[in-house]
A and B are shown apart, each in its own frame.
Chain A
Amino acid sequence: MAKDETHVPYRLIGTRPNRPDGLDKVTGRARYGADISLPGMLHGAVVRSPHAHARIKKIDATKALALPGVKAVVTRADLPTGLTGEDLNLQENTLAGDTALYDGHAVAAVAATSKLLAEQAARLIEVEYEVLPHVTDVDAAMAPGAPVIRPGAADHSVPEGMHPNVARYIDFGRGDVEAGFAAADLVRERTYKTEATHQGYIEPHAAVAQLGADGKGEMWVCTQGQWYIRRMCSAVLGIDAANLRVTPTEIGGGFGGKTTIFMEPLPLALSKKAGGRPVKMVMSRSEVLRATGPTASASMDVKLGMTKDGKVTAGKVVFRMQGGPYVGSSPIGEALQCAFACYDIPNLMHEGYEVLANRPKAAAYRAPGSPMAAFATESLLDEMCRELGLDPIETRLKNAAREGTKASYGPTFNRIGFVESLEATKAHPNLSIPLGPNQGRGVAAGFWFNHGGETSVSLAVGEDGTATVSVGTPDIGGSRASIALMTAECLGIPYDKVRVNVVETGALGVNEPTHGSRATFASGLAAVQAARQAIAEMCRRAAADWGIEPEAVEWKDGAAIPAGPNAGKFPPMTMAEIGATMGSTGGPISGHHEVTAGGYGASFGVHVVDVEVDPETGRTTILRYLVVQDAGTAIHPTYVEGQYQGGAAQGIGWALNEEYVYGADGRLQNPVFLDYRVPVASDLPMIDTVIVEVPNPGHPYGVRGVGETGITPPLPAIANAIHAATGKRLRSLPMSPSKLLAAIKGA
């Protein structure tokens, strides 16, 4: 749907107004998941497996149910049978069946009249386990002799002779990699490992839900996608989707981790068993870390061939990823597709193995798969540039994907902004700041596909000429502001005359969640189309009033006007005037657009980091940080910068601090924020940003998603900077002080 509007000067797009939900969020009034309460509400608690792998021999809730005030207990026996595929995986993950598959796997849930009572009752539920051998490391899980986690889970893609924990195999490529390596002056092959990390949203999962004996239910939940919650809960519980009304609350961060269900079916199941009383369930932080959405952990081999002037002749990756005990949870496919997506390389081979392990079911996390892949490929690219004495930015320019390049994963790129981002990086003053002893500079690039997806948006004209936009994508970082800006731009009215509401599942057609960097792109695109429909109708109303043809009316500055001198002489009819009389001129005026949006433009970014390494402690300090990324068109530049900065901070945490630490017993050793240490304010400098704007031809205002790519380059950029500072190349994350110190001392 190429459009013409990307070249006109904008009235509102590119300005930085206050966000419409700002006041609620600085005064404590905004209602998040745990802030909802209902009359007659019960509180839920979950019993979780303390074992990484154990047969559940018996669950006895007698003592819990004997406590006055305890109203219901549910176990797997209360859920329907016969599910298959991912629905079965979701049900298994909601409540374990015969076997608990990871430390923290839910086994039973209880509802009582208070939170304290529910927690007490949960402790009284007796579960008898037979502990089984377990495995948590990705390489160990596919080694001969590893305990088999779920026999028969592997699909037909897996080659003969693999360990049964290898559940999925993917390969694709092009050209002739052996010939490509033969044509290279330098060929290097390395192995990299990344540990699992958590999205780390500060708001734990929370829901209040009610389900009656008639199968009709209602839920308020912090989620990135109310229709996904509806579909998944309905499947797990065997109820009709239309009978479950899901209202998204404000959401306290998600980063992909709130696009799926974890405990959400439990308050519904408990409510039904408790006679339809609403049940509130809020996870603790340790439940969040033990049992919700970490990333996959990865083990990766990369081989690259390069000529001495820096042209990459061939690339090969073999990635192994575990994303918990269920097939399809790890982003192995995305990781492979992202591995070489920044570059135009003639000969490529990608192979991937998804491996089951006794860890929580992985969920999406910001550009899922891309950060791990970039850590491997961008680290090796840097190492080879260093060996050949080549400039890392010039080398990337030499190989950069551009418009017309056939992407490493298949399609041909439309207009993209990787070259422009590299050029803007080269020109940035940070690159000429001199460095001191123990300091180093690292560069890396990153990629994300972006996403369009199922989208349904409605717009209604108010009696006073204002506009209400109903969207299905929860606002996780300012999308109400960006959608209001685009709508107001299109309608020709002020920004504050448009209100954007995130609505419940009954109010629109199915929407995918706010994921894949799609909210501003896809809901924005649909809102603009809905506004255009409303404009067409308002022009018809004016034409009827003036007694001229609708084609003789055009829309300008928020009003209908005659299109040229031949149309007649009439004063502009404003949106407020049309709205005030619409009841008697033909009824309510609205616009609606629904689409599975394509045309999302791919996203590229380049990061430059300066670090200082303390040679006595191995601690890495980030001295300065630069993010350069193509936004297509920055609708609200401040929130674009915020996405760049937030992504970089998460990537810095992944690179330096964050990891899932499992003990020999298979239990997570660090399920609190004190030990799972995300970056704090004193860990970081200001994060410099450059917004490159290469408009996406697939969006009426040129938008491409901006949320994901920023987390990808920090992992290799910091590894590259540490190498520059110390001469040591770290190939496993996190690059913690102890690991770096060992590398330095080992010299």
Chain B
Amino acid sequence: MTKIHVQTVVNGDPVEYLADPRETLLDCLRDHLDLTGSKEGCGTGDCGACSVRLDGVLVCSCLVLGVEAQGKTVETIEGMAQGGELHPLQRKFIEHAALQCGFCTPGILVAAKALLEQNPDPTESEIRFWLAGNLCRCTGYDKIIRAVQDAAAEMRGAA
């Protein structure tokens, strides 16, 4: 199938790639741009391991075609730390042991960051329902929820 030239901005950097029209945004990030931090756990939008922001909107990149990124901005886990400085969510995930295998972690961090931007003081229940589309099989979610709460508190304090 004829490939399509796509120009987009990923984590602030202008990039371009040739996408087969059947390829997902996740495929393009991983296979054409070597951004393998976003993971494929299901390919059907059920697990959230591929979560990225597309023009600021939280999406499953396995449900977006690579060609749809044309002219838009994409944010992935690789862009979350600024310079050498971890985002508070990243730091709190390490401190709270909010990961075991770590495979779901990139998607959960991207999703949690989107939550805190629109709701800086979420209740436990709001965090649980926001992250209900991000499966974690290792932790039972307890430490993930606590890490998000702790990061939110720190970010509110810093604001």
Contact = CB atoms under 8 A, between A and B. Distances in A.
A495 to B, nearest CB: 14
A478 B140 CA distance: 15
A174 interface: no
B143 A642 contact: yes
B97 A638 contact: yes
Contacts of A30: 102
B99 interface: yes
B100 A478 contact: yes
A202 B41 contact: yes
B78 interface: yes
A433 interface: no
Given A28-B36, A673-B42, A252 B129 contact: no
B139 interface: yes
Contacts of B124: 686
B contact face: mostly helix, strand, loop, or mixed: loop
Nearest to B93: A26
Contacts of A679: 140
Interface string A337-365: 00000000000000000000000000000
Interface residues of B, number: 63
Interface string B41-59: 1111011010000000000
B134 to A, nearest CB: 7
B80 A686 contact: no
Nearest to A289: B42
Contacts of B40: 34, 204, 282
Interface string A170-203: 0000000000000000000000000000011111
Nearest to B131: A681
A204 B41 contact: yes
B141 to A, nearest CB: 4
A476 B139 CA distance: 12
Given A28-B77, A28-B106, A681 B42 contact: no
B37 interface: yes
Of the listed residues B22, B96, B128, the one surrounded by the most CB atoms of chain A closer than 10 A to its CB is: B128
Contacts of A647: 140
A126 interface: no
A687 B127 CA distance: 16
Contact of B103 (A203, A255, A650, A672): A203
Contact of A648 (B35, B49, B80, B140): B140
Interface of A: 16, 18-19, 21-32, 34-35, 114-116, 199-204, 250-255, 282, 284-285, 476-478, 638-639, 641-642, 645-650, 672-674, 678-684, 686-687
Interface of B: 1, 20, 22-23, 27, 30-31, 35-44, 46-47, 49, 76-78, 80-81, 86, 90-91, 93-97, 99-106, 109, 124-125, 127-129, 131-146
Given A31-B36, A645-B142, A673-B42, 6 more contacts: A34-B40, A199-B137, A202-B103, A204-B40, A252-B103, A681-B127
Closest 8 CB pairs of A and B: A28-B37, A252-B103, A25-B102, A649-B140, A645-B140, A673-B46, A477-B100, A22-B94
